[in-house]
Structure 1
Amino acid sequence: MKQFYFSLSLLIVVLFSSCNTENPTIEISSEDYHHAVDKLTQIMVHDIFSPPVASRIYTYSNIAAYETLNQESSNYHSLSDQLNNLSVINPTKTNDKVNLKLASLIAYLDVAKDLVFSKEAITTYRDSLYQHWNTLNPDELEAAQTYGTTISQQVTTWMQKDQYAETRTMPNYNIYSDDPSRWQPTPPSYTTGIEPHWSKIRPFVLDSAAQFKPQRHPEFSLEKDSPFYKEVMEVYTVNREMSQKGDESPEVLIAKFWDCNPFVSVNKGHFMFAVKKITPGAHWVGICKIACRQTKTDFEKTVYAYTKISLGIADAFISCWDEKYRSNLVRPETLINAYIDKSWAPVLQTPPFPEYTSGHSVVSGASSEILTSIFGEDFYFEDLTEVQYGLPIRPFNSFRAAAQEAALSRLYGGIHYRSAIDIGLDQGIKVGTLVNTKVKFLK
Structure 2
Amino acid sequence: MRAILKAGSVVSVVLLLMLVCSCKKTTSADNQKKILAPDPLNNAVTKLTQVITHDIFSPTVASRIYMYSSVAAYEALVPLNSDYQSLTGQLKGFTAGPKPEAAQTYCFPLASVHAFMKVARTLTFSVEMYDEFENKLYEDYKDMGIPDDVFDRSIAFGDSVAAHVIRYSSKDNYKQTRGFRHTITNQPGTWVPTPPGYMDGIEPQWFKIRTLTLDSASQFKPVPPPAYNTDKNSAFFKEAQDVYDVTTHMTEEQKWIANFWDCNPFKLNVAGHVNFATKKMSPGGHWMSISNIISRQYKADIMKTAETYALVSIALFDGFISCWDEKYRSVRVRPETAINQLIDKDWTPFLQTPPFPEYTSGHSVISTASATVLTHLYGDNISFVDSTEVQYGIPPRSFKSFRQACEEAAISRLYGGIHYRSAIEVGLVQGGQVGEWVLGHIQTHKVIATKSEPTKQAN
TM-score normalised to the size of structure 1? 0.91
Look up the match of 1:125: 133
Equivalent residue in structure 2 for 1:267, among 270, 273, 290 = 270
- 1:65-84 to structure 2, matched below 5 A, reads 65-71=73-79, 73-84=81-92
Contact 2:67 2:314 in 1 (8 A): yes
- Residue among 280, 286, 290 paired with 2:289: 286
Q: 1: distance between equivalents of 2:437 and 2:140?
A: 41
Alignment of 1:30-109 (within 5 A): 30-71=38-79, 73-93=81-101, 96-109=104-117
> Does the CA-based 8 Å contact 2:320-2:362 persist in structure 1?
yes
The aligned length equals 418
Greater CA deviation, 133-142 or 283-292? 133-142
| 1:97-176 equivalence runs, <5 A | 97-134=105-142, 136=145, 137-169=147-179, 171-175=180-184
Q: Secondary structure at the match of 1:80?
A: coil
Q: In the alignment, is the contact (CA less than 8 A) between 1:92 and 1:150 conserved in 2?
A: no
Counterparts in 2 of 1:26-425, with a 5 A limit? 27-71=35-79, 73-93=81-101, 96-134=104-142, 136=145, 137-169=147-179, 171-175=180-184, 177-242=185-250, 245=251, 249-425=252-428
Q: Secondary structure at the match of 1:98?
A: strand
Whether contact under 8 Å (1:94, 1:143) holds in the other structure is no
Q: Distance in 2 between matches of 1:131 and 1:19?
A: 20
Alpha-carbon separation, structure 2, partners of 1:130 and 1:241: 53
The one-letter code sitting in structure 1 at the alignment partner of 2:442 is V
Q: CA separation in 2, counterparts of 1:284 and 1:34? A: 13
Instruction: Give the secondary structure class of the aligned counterpart of 2:388.
Output: coil
Q: Is the 8 A contact 2:40 2:137 kept in 1?
A: no
Cα offsets for 1:242-288 (capped at 9, x unmatched): 2xx5xxx1111111111000100111222110010011111111111
SS at match of 1:266: strand
* Local SS of the residue matching 1:323: helix
The 3-state SS of whatever aligns with 1:374 is helix
Residue 27 of structure 1 and its aligned partner are, at CA, apart by 2.0
Greater CA drift, 363-372 or 145-154: 145-154
Q: Which amino acid aligns with 1:331?
A: R
Residue 78 of structure 2 contacts residue 86 of structure 2 at CA under 8 Å; is this kept in 1?
yes
| Corresponding position of 2:5 | none
Distance 1:235 1:154, change over 3 A: same
Higher Rg of the two aligned structures: 1
Whichever residue aligns with residue 398 of structure 2, its letter is: P
Instruction: Say if 2:36 and 2:301, in contact at 8 Å, map to a contact too.
Output: no
The AA in structure 2 aligned to 1:51 is P
The runs of 5 or more residues in structure 1 that have no matched partner are 1-17
- Give 1:415 deviation, angstroms: 0.3
- After TM superposition, give the deviation of residue 95 of structure 1 in Å: 5.0
CA positional deviation for 1:72: 6.7
Distance in 2 separating the partners of 1:359 and 1:87 = 30
Q: State how far apart, in whole Å, the 1-side matches of 2:389 and 2:165 are.
A: 32
Cα contact 2:80–2:108 (8 A) shared by 1 = no
Report the CA distance between 1:178 and its aligned residue.
Answer: 2.9
Contact 1:28–1:102 at 8 Å: present in 2 too?
no
Structure 2 spans left out of the alignment, 5+ residues? 1-23, 447-459
CA contact (8 A) 2:72 2:112 kept: yes
* Structure 1 match to 2:18: none
Q: Percent identity?
A: 48
| 2:341 alignment partner, SS class | helix
* Preserved CA contact (<8 Å) 1:55 1:281: yes
What is the TM-score normalised by the length of structure 2? 0.88
Structure 2 Cα separation of the partners of residues 294 and 200 of structure 1:
38
| d(CA) in 2 for partners of 1:20, 1:440 | 38
Is 1:323–1:356's contact at 8 Å kept on the other side of the alignment? yes
In structure 2, how many angstroms separate the alpha carbons of the residues matched to 1:301 and 1:209? 29
CA contact (8 A) 2:217 2:322 kept: yes
Q: Distance in 2 between matches of 1:213 and 1:32?
A: 39
